[in-house]
Chains A and B, each alone.
Chain A
Amino acid sequence: METLQNLALGFSQALTPDALLYCFIGVTIGTVVGVLPGIGALTTISLCLPLTFHLDPLLGLIMLAGIFYGAQYGSSTASILLNVPGSAPAAVTCLDGYPMTRQGRAGIALFVTTIASFIGGCFAIVLLIFFAPLLAQVAIGFSAADYFAIMLLALTAASTLGAGAPLKGLCMMVVGLILGLVGTDLNSGQFRFTFGIPALADGISLVALAMGLFGVAEILANVTSGQLPVLENARVTLRSMIPSREDMKRFWGSCGRGSVLGSFVGMLPGTGPTIAAFMSYAFEKKISKTPEQFGNGAIEGVTSPESANNAAVQAAFIPTLTLGVPGDAIMAVMIGGLLVHGITPGPQLITENGALFWGVVASFWVGNILLLILNLPFIGLWVKLLSIPYKALFPAVLLLICIGVYSVNNSAVDVVLTFVFGLAGFCLNRHGYPSAPLLLGFVLGPLIEENFRRAVLLSGGSLAPFIERPISATFLMLTALILALAGWHRLRKVPVKPVE
């Protein structure tokens, strides 16, 4: 009952004309930067943060949060239409979203993406409203050993991402793990593989890697293939957006699983939407009766990562608002914004600044509904983008990628790296080496290493915590099970034929 009263208080804050306006501005900016390749939520929020210093803190936070989750809605658009992800999490959406476009199902892909995003977001908001303090306590209970076990499971489960030969995927994952080593070693402070370039001391930029491997490589592939892709069916009628009954049947289940998994990953500090999207995709493929469809336009391959990444960004607010422990860099920037106003996120935020807390939470609903209204009519417009001749479109996309990558760290080195990765990705893809496992290895590698070393440091050199802690032990057992199953299948059957 009390929660409902609080929620009413929240809506009274979130439905004022000012709050609606800033929410609308936030989600609109978010959608736009999401669609644009390279320019992500972090850059935009950093850019907009100083503007909010002159606003009421509630309005400022509503706007910044709107940009954050709005960007997740938009970022899949370019993945689906052009195979160029709008942000790193959306790289997963490329795997099946782009094949759907090539099959003339772009409208359906965009439609289900929007609905899946909405469901994922709403699910996490419900968790935030009813269970936030409890969940936050659970989330910070995860120790270094537990993180290690979870990430190891994610890496193992996802080793067969996308279409293609499993061995080649595994190779690419190892390359990703190696690239993740670049930068300053967290334990000794030594520079590893930086080759004397100061810009590499903080590691390789995730945005540069994702944009290079997916965006630039895709453009190179199209340009060098001799025949530029001509995408038919540029006309989108309302009917072409409506998924078939069969589509919907596969939609709901994958969406629900994506939302749950995404919320779980999102509320763990230090993870984020990219890992959420990868994990749910891998999970969906593992349990699917038709895993061979993944990578060839499976609708679950679009809906599960999309619901997961939206659930993850929304769930990231759970530890941020209730404990003052931001889940990722974006949340940290928002906390900085609150500090400027003299407001400290933490356990006392709900009691001392109840109107602010519940106002922001209520604005999440408002924002998600606005996004739904904003995105559905735009689908037709986005698909029309495909009717632009490729030779006019790709220079524009390349330019946007450059601006986006540069804007993250204001670093020219990152732009050069993007093109190096683009070229490498293009060559590797040509020989059937998929890019997605590399990206996953890159994201998970540092987390696995860091948490393993930390767990051992904390235990004074003993490996016991990995099997003594119930969470860690469970996840390690699951990992072993997956490996054993894979080995067993291999012994029984002829190796899976690589799909070109």
Chain B
Amino acid sequence: MLITRLLLLCAALCLAACGGESASTASNGEFPQRPIRVIVPFGPGGLADVTLRLAGESLGQTLGQPIIVENRPGAGGVAATNTMLNAAADGYTLIVLTNGTAIAESQFELNYDIREDLRPVSALAWFDLILLVNPSNGITTLEQLLEKGRQNPQGLRIATINPGSTQNLSAELFKAEAGIPATIISYRTSPDVLTALLRNEVDLAIDAYTALKGAIDGKQVVPLAVTGSRRNAALPDVPTAAESGLPNYVVEGWNAIYAQAGVPDDVVAKLNDAIVQVARLPQVQERFRELGVEARGSTPDEIQQRLLADIEKWRAVMVDAGLVQAR
């Protein structure tokens, strides 16, 4: 057992060494001097993890130090944020925040204040959600679906993952914006949502492209609309919900890098520079697009404004849906 662990450790170190070797130029006392740890509040294999790992390689080369991804999954990113806050405020420990962080703010009793204890570095990835239907029902546009919802006294049955997720709240928002009766049915995972749609037990599923790419590409399910303010580059023929008759229905997810509040300005500036640069690289753009995600950096201020706006936006949706008490 010990041997396995040691082997794994060796392997990890070798990889780290290989990554660092290729561009170990920073030696004149400048940041960074050693590998940078990025904490992901989700398990390996998810959207946040995959995008960070894809960008992480290039980011490591740009900064001259390897990026080490550490997964700390668990309720609302609480464990991840606490790990982050327990590390030194030197810029060598970073965290991925997401639109989910903005939701968790209203959901959990937190022992920290995300606005005070962390400082923004840059956005990294932007994505939308997809409204999907089963092809056997003959519905091909969002207008048709809305019409069906109005005709049916029981309304639409919408499948999403667990309450409090971006997907689930987007369904609540959809219900409110469309003004039609609907029942939201919760499933544990995205594949469960897909199965429900394949089985034709729901009228609509709302999830991210990455999660259901196989089924969409394989034409098992039909995308009616995307929730972003612009069309998704991976699905150029699919209109936005705003184009299809729901002008105010816009949901955009994002992943961003944050540091601790005490990290010096020059370190944040250097990190921001590197991330913005990496997000522009053609290979990063290309790999992200395959996943239905847009790679785009931002100024620290821009992403912070986004976080604050999303906290308010989702709190309002949750209060309306009766998921949390109004504060």
Q: Across the interface, which residues of A come within 8 angstroms of B43, CB to CB?
A: 46, 329, 333
Q: Across the interface, which residues of B come within 8 angstroms of A346, CB to CB?
A: 213-215, 217-218, 220
Name B323's closest neighbour in chain A (CB-CB).
A189
B191 x A54 contact (CB < 8 A): no
Set B189, B287, B323: member contacting A332, Cβ < 8 A:
B189
B75 x A336 contact (CB < 8 A): no
Set B15, B163, B287: member contacting A51, Cβ < 8 A:
B15
Interface segment, A174-182, A196-204, A424-432? Answer: A196-204
A199 x B214 contact (CB < 8 A): no
Set A53, A411, A460: member contacting B53, Cβ < 8 A:
A53
Q: Is A36 an interface residue (CB 8 A)?
A: yes
A349 x B214 contact (CB < 8 A): yes
Quick one: given A36-B1, A409-B74, are A347 and B218 in contact (CB under 8 Å)?
yes
A198 x B194 contact (CB < 8 A): no
Total residue contacts A-B, CB cutoff 8 A: 152
Name B3's closest neighbour in chain A (CB-CB).
A32
Q: Is A187 an interface residue (CB 8 A)?
A: yes
Quick one: given A324-B215, A346-B218, are A411 and B74 in contact (CB under 8 Å)?
yes
Name B1's closest neighbour in chain A (CB-CB).
A36
Q: A47 vs B72: C-alpha distance in the bound complex, in angstroms? A: 12
Quick one: given A186-B186, A410-B79, are A202 and B74 in contact (CB under 8 Å)?
yes
Q: Across the interface, which residues of A come within 8 angstroms of B54, CB to CB?
A: 340
Set A33, A201, A333, A349: member contacting B45, Cβ < 8 A:
A333
Q: A342 vs B154: C-alpha distance in the bound complex, in angstroms? A: 40
Q: A257 vs B302: C-alpha distance in the bound complex, in angstroms? A: 61
Q: Is B76 an interface residue (CB 8 A)?
A: yes
Size range of the interface on A? 35 or more
Q: Is A483 an interface residue (CB 8 A)?
A: no
Q: Is B71 an interface residue (CB 8 A)?
A: yes
B45 x A335 contact (CB < 8 A): yes
Interface centre among B71, B75, B210 (most CB of A within 10 A): B75
Taking the nearest CB of chain B, how far is it from the CB of A198, in angstroms?
Answer: 4
Residues in A337-364 with C-beta less than 8 Å from chain B: 337, 339-340, 342, 344-349
B76 x A188 contact (CB < 8 A): no
Q: A348 vs B213: C-alpha distance in the bound complex, in angstroms? A: 11
Scan B259-297; emit 1 where CB is below 8 A from any A CB, else 0: 000000000000000000000000000010011000000
Q: Is B179 an interface residue (CB 8 A)?
A: no
A50 x B53 contact (CB < 8 A): yes
Q: A269 vs B195: C-alpha distance in the bound complex, in angstroms? A: 9
Q: Is B180 an interface residue (CB 8 A)?
A: no
Residues in A257-281 with C-beta less than 8 Å from chain B: 269-270
Q: Across the interface, which residues of A come within 8 angstroms of B201, CB to CB?
A: 143-144, 458
Q: Is B309 an interface residue (CB 8 A)?
A: no
Quick one: given A54-B15, A186-B188, A346-B214, are A336 and B50 in contact (CB under 8 Å)?
yes
A325 x B163 contact (CB < 8 A): no
Residues in A417-466 with C-beta less than 8 Å from chain B: 450, 454, 457-458, 460
Q: A35 vs B323: C-alpha distance in the bound complex, in angstroms? A: 44
Taking the nearest CB of chain B, how far is it from the CB of A142, in angstroms?
Answer: 8
Q: Across the interface, which residues of B come within 8 angstroms of A186, CB to CB?
A: 162-163, 186, 188
Set B163, B191, B213: member contacting A188, Cβ < 8 A:
B163
Quick one: given A140-B198, A339-B45, are A187 and B163 in contact (CB under 8 Å)?
yes
Q: Across the interface, which residues of A come within 8 angstroms of B151, CB to CB?
A: none
B214 x A457 contact (CB < 8 A): no
Q: Is A478 an interface residue (CB 8 A)?
A: no
Taking the nearest CB of chain A, how far is it from the CB of B248, in angstroms?
Answer: 24
A49 x B1 contact (CB < 8 A): no
A325 x B191 contact (CB < 8 A): yes
Q: A140 vs B192: C-alpha distance in the bound complex, in angstroms? A: 10
Taking the nearest CB of chain A, how far is it from the CB of B186, in angstroms?
Answer: 5
Scan B45-68; emit 1 where CB is below 8 A from any A CB, else 0: 110011001100000000000000
Name B318's closest neighbour in chain A (CB-CB).
A189
Quick one: given A348-B214, A348-B217, are A340 and B191 in contact (CB under 8 Å)?
no
Quick one: given A270-B192, A454-B185, are A201 and B217 in contact (CB under 8 Å)?
no
Set A33, A141, A325, A333: member contacting B1, Cβ < 8 A:
A33
Q: Across the interface, which residues of B come within 8 angstroms of A482, CB to CB?
A: none
Q: Across the interface, which residues of A come within 8 angstroms of B78, CB to CB?
A: 198
Q: Is B135 an interface residue (CB 8 A)?
A: no
Residues in B110-147 with C-beta less than 8 Å from chain A: none
Q: A481 vs B195: C-alpha distance in the bound complex, in angstroms? A: 31
Q: Across the interface, which residues of B come within 8 angstroms of A196, CB to CB?
A: 109
Q: Across the interface, which residues of B come within 8 angstroms of A48, CB to CB?
A: 8
Q: Is A241 an interface residue (CB 8 A)?
A: no
Q: Is A166 an interface residue (CB 8 A)?
A: no
A324 x B73 contact (CB < 8 A): no
B185 x A325 contact (CB < 8 A): no
Taking the nearest CB of chain A, how far is it from the CB of B308, in angstroms?
Answer: 23
Set B75, B194, B215: member contacting A202, Cβ < 8 A:
B75
Quick one: given A39-B1, A326-B191, are A47 and B185 in contact (CB under 8 Å)?
no
A-B contact pairs, 5 of them (CB 8 A): A33-B4, A140-B195, A186-B162, A325-B191, A454-B187
Instruction: Other than A198-B108, A346-B217, A460-B183, give 7 A-B pairs with Cβ distance below 8 A.
Output: A49-B44, A50-B12, A54-B15, A202-B74, A336-B49, A346-B218, A411-B74
Task: Give residues in A with beta carbon < 8 Å to B.
Answer: 29, 32-33, 35-36, 39, 46-51, 53-54, 140-141, 143-144, 184-189, 196, 198-199, 201-202, 269-270, 323-326, 329, 332-337, 339-340, 342, 344-349, 400, 409-411, 450, 454, 457-458, 460
3 nearest A-B pairs in the assembled complex, by CB-CB distance: A336-B45, A346-B214, A189-B163
Task: Give residues in B with beta carbon < 8 Å to A.
Answer: 1, 3-4, 8, 11-12, 15, 43-46, 49-50, 53-54, 69, 71-76, 78-79, 107-109, 154, 157, 162-164, 168, 183, 185-189, 191-192, 194-195, 198-199, 201-202, 210, 213-215, 217-218, 220, 287, 290-291, 323
